[in-house]
Amino acid sequence: MRKLAHWLWLPPLAFLAVFYIYPLASIFALSFREGWQPALLQLLNDSAIHRVVGFTFWQAFLSTALTLALGLPAAYLLARYEFPGKRLLRVVSGVPFVLPTLVVAAAFNAVLGPRGWFNQALLAAGQQPLEFINTFTAILVAHIFYNTTIVLRMVGDFWSRLSPRIEQAASSLGANGWRVFTRVTLPMLAPALAAAALLVFIFNFTSFGVILVLGGPRFATLETEIYYQTVALFNLPTAALLALLQLLCTLVLTIVYTRLSARLSRPVEQRAPRLRLLRAQPARWLSAAFLAALALFFVAPLGGLAARSVTRLETDRRQEAAAPGFTLDYYRALGDDPRNNIFFAPPLRAIQTSLLYAGATVGLALLIGLPASWLLSQQQPSRLARLLDPVLMLPLGTSALTLGLGFIVALDTPPLDLRASPMLVPLAHTLVALPFVVRSLVPALRSIRPRLRQAAAVLGAAPAQVLRAIDIPLVGRAILAAALFAFAISVGEFGATALIARPEYPTMPVLIYRLLAQPGALTYGQAMALSTLLMVFTGGGMLLIERLRIADVGEF
């Protein structure tokens, strides 16, 4: 058994070495191909790079601050009060987080874009349309939309565990409301607040799809600049340098975050206090209005997207006869190639491509994730296992663009020329999915305590029956959940795919991006329909994962 354990490390280790370490090393090599000085000089002197870095930090900072401003009052209300629809608000706020960036971009486009609900209504009323797409506001709003749930969950959960007695003690000692908040509540919340803020910042810092699609060409962050340098200018050395800078920043941020969240797990006060009902009349109505607006903010874009995909708001030049109103034309048109050139595959083929890639990703991720998870779930993991646990999580701290660039730089020359291989995209997706797959498998594998097998044996189950009745059902669900994770990540992945997908075989997110950039009502409708389908695929996958989770399968 011990011997086997050492061999089981081989697949995950080899995979990470070839598809993670080697590409990153290639980025290093490319950046420093002429030594340290030229690279350093370019970093120091290139004012374009300075602007990009400055804007990356600025948008991430502003997005984070606004997310906190919106999330904290809601976290407070969730933590301290009972109100109807509370569970629903929690669920609804979490939905954007699991959706692909292209779905979110398309959703905001469906509501506030030039062809969206709001502007079509303005046009119909003879008003000037509102400019939202390709503005800084769009970036900020989408980031808030994505990350508010982090504040609600991390700060809200922590807050709800803080006993209100501590605050009551402070006010009995003479502190007024403001002082209780600043001197008692805020310091106690600080670790959760800092960890949530940092996590939101990291997500905003590495955000790609939102900035590319909603911000447009006027806004360049490290991520979009890597994309631009690679795809448009084919300036790989500069892209590599930017990727290195990005890697350094995320590395520092991730290390600080890990430190902070370790402090967070130290319980302050574990007893859940009884929740109150908000009674004071003005506060009550104000809170209700705020929470309702928040819920609407989470629901409206997604609902707007789905509705827009089945509603014609304007007549297409090519379809003069078609009247505005309910239509399934956009779905019927999924088989049509809108532009009929190499960059515009019919949406149906993109769906096919995405599903094939997702299938391959699921297979690969399980092939590599299962042995790794099995080893990590052992009662006494070997020293190797403990070392490789953080290594497996590494891709999580690396931006998708950096991973994609690494593939381009490293895997296009012999001995590993995978440029034309259909496995290139699934390999990248597997890298992105692996941490999630491992994280969902390990607790499930751990939950199969030897006790359960013993209990089954004592009840008369022969070894084969134990396998069938205990091991397979318990692991089976976990494997299914992990597979769904890999599937949802693969169909939604945009950053790495945008760099490495073959032009004639775009995936769903890549094609949505292309369609949104094109004129024409039918093209727009196709984008809406394709985005809605992608939303259903990923949302449905995540919903299934929730349902598969065995309530209390963790450590006893």
Partner 1 sequence: MLELRNITKQYDGKPILAGIDLRVEPGEVLALLGPSGSGKSTLLSIVAGLETPDNGQVLWAGVDVTHTPPHRRGFGLMFQDYALFPHRDVFGNVAFGLQMAGQSSSQVAARVSEVLHLVGLDAFERRDVTSLSGGEQQRVALARALAPAPHLLMLDEPLGSLDRALRTRLLAQLAEILRAERLTSIYVTHDQEEAYAIADRVAILNAGQLAQIGPPQELYRQPASEFVARFLGMQNLFSARIEAGQAHTTFGEVPIANQKPGLATLLLRPDSVQLGTQGPFTLSGTLQRKQFRGSLWLAEVAVQDAVLALELPSSVRLPAVGESLDISFDPAEAVRIFRND
Q: How large is the angle between the packed helices 281-308 and 86-98, nearest 10 degrees?
A: 40
In single-letter form, the type of residue at position 211 comes to: I
Closest separation between CB of residue 451 and partner 1, Å? 4
Across-strand partners of 482?
none
80, 87, 160, 556 from 280: Cα distances, Å: 14, 22, 20, 42
**Residue closer to partner 1, measured from CB, 466 or 529:** 466
Choose the binding region for partner 1 from 32-40, 76-84, 286-294, 451-459 (rule: CB under 8 A).
Answer: 451-459
Residues 326 and 485: beta-carbon distance below 8 Å = no
State which residue, 475 or 501, has the beta carbon closest to partner 1: 475
Report the candidate in 73, 103, 202, 176 with the shortest Cα–Cα distance to residue 534.
Answer: 103
Using CB under 8 A, which of the segments 264-272, 362-370, 424-432, 452-460 binds partner 1?
452-460
The stretch near partner 1 (CB under 8 A) out of 249-257, 431-439, 487-495, 547-555 is 547-555
Single residue of 1, 4, 280, 551 touching partner 1 by CB under 8 A: 551
Backbone angles phi, psi at 228, to 5 degrees: -60, -50
Residue 440 CB, shortest distance to partner 1, in Å, is 16
Residue identified by tokens 């969240």 is: 261
Residue 455 engages partner 1 in binding (rule: CB under 8 A): yes
Q: Which residues contact 437 (CB under 8 A, 6 or more apart)?
A: 365, 366, 369, 373, 482, 485, 486
Contact between 43 and partner 1 by CB under 8 A: the answer reads: no
**Does residue 2 bind partner 1 (CB under 8 A)?**
no
Those residues whose C-beta lies under 8 Å from the C-beta of residue 124, and which sit 6 or more positions away, are: none
CB nearer partner 1, residue 284 or residue 446: 446
User: Is the distance from CB of 117 to CB of 308 less than 8 angstroms?
Assistant: yes
Choose, by CB under 8 A, the member of 452, 539, 543, 544 that binds partner 1: 452
Separation of alpha carbons 39 and 30, rounded Å: 10
For residue 113, the SS3 value is coil
Answer for which of 128, 460, 519, 547 binds partner 1 (CB under 8 A) is 460
Q: Say whether residue 468 binds partner 1 (CB under 8 A).
A: no
In angstroms, what is the C-alpha Rg of the chain?
25
Helix (H) or strand (E) holding 326: strand 325-326
> Is residue 470 a contact residue for partner 1 (CB under 8 A)?
yes
Of the candidate residues 21, 469, 543, 544, the single one contacting partner 1 (CB under 8 A): 469
Number of Cβ within 10 Å of residue 332's Cβ equals 11
Give the one residue of 7, 36, 326, 556 binding partner 1; rule: CB under 8 A.
556
For partner 1, the closer of residues 394 and 474 by Cβ is 474
Contacts of 302 (CB under 8 A, 6+ apart): 95, 96, 99, 103, 107, 535
Q: Which lies closer to partner 1 via its Cβ, residue 232 or residue 551?
A: 551
The reply to whether 544 sits near partner 1 by the rule CB under 8 A is no
Please tell me whether residue 280 binds partner 1 under the rule CB under 8 A.
no
Least distance to partner 1, CB of residue 114, Å: 50
Nearer to partner 1, 123 or 457 (CB): 457
462: contact with partner 1 by CB under 8 A: yes
Instruction: Please list, residue by residue across 405-432, b when 16 or more beta carbons sit within 10 angstroms of its beta carbon and e when fewer do.
Output: bbbbbbbeeeeeebeeeeebbbbbbbbb
**Count of alpha carbons within 13 Å of 40, Cβ hemisphere only?**
3
Q: Are 216 and 133 in contact (CB under 8 A)?
A: yes
Q: Which one, 5 or 474, has the nearer CB to partner 1?
A: 474
* 465 makes contact with partner 1 (CB under 8 A): yes
Would you count residue 190 as binding partner 1 (CB under 8 A)? Answer: no
457 binds partner 1 (CB under 8 A): yes
**x/- contact string, 362-381, with partner 1 (CB under 8 A)?**
--------------------
Closest to partner 1 by CB, 320 vs 552, is 552
Cβ nearer to partner 1, comparing 335 with 473: 473
Q: Which stretch binds partner 1 (CB under 8 A): 74-82, 346-354, 387-395, 461-469?
A: 461-469
> Which of 451, 440, 419, 446 shows the shortest CA–CA distance to 546?
440
Q: Running DSSP on this structure, what letter comes out for residue 115?
A: T
With CB under 8 A as the contact rule, the residue among 3, 271, 383, 451 that binds partner 1 is 451
By C-beta, is 384 or 459 nearer to partner 1? 459
CB nearer partner 1, residue 271 or residue 279: 271
State in angstroms the smallest separation of the CB of 439 from partner 1: 19
Number of neighbouring beta carbons within 10 Å of residue 267: 8
For partner 1, the binding residue among 36, 280, 420, 552 (CB under 8 A) is 552
Q: Which of 425, 431, 435, 426 is nearest to 499 (CA)?
A: 425
251 vs 472, beta carbon nearer partner 1: 472
CB 27 within 8 A of CB 409: yes
Is-contact 426 490, C-beta < 8 A?
yes
Q: How far is the CB of 82 from partner 1 (least distance, A)?
A: 21
Site track 421-450 with partner 1 (rule: CB under 8 A), x = hit: --------------------------x-x-
How many angstroms separate the CA atoms of 153 and 165, rounded?
Answer: 22
How many residues sit in the footprint of partner 1 (CB under 8 A)? 24
Q: What is the DSSP string of 489-540?
A: HHHH--HHHHHHS-TTS--HHHHHHHHHTS--HHHHHHHHHHHHHHHHHHHH
Minimum separation from the CB atom of position 268 to partner 1 (A): 25
Compare residues 138 and 456 and give the one whose CB is closer to partner 1.
456
Residues that bind partner 1 (CB under 8 A): 447, 449, 451-452, 454-462, 465, 469-470, 473-474, 477, 550-553, 556
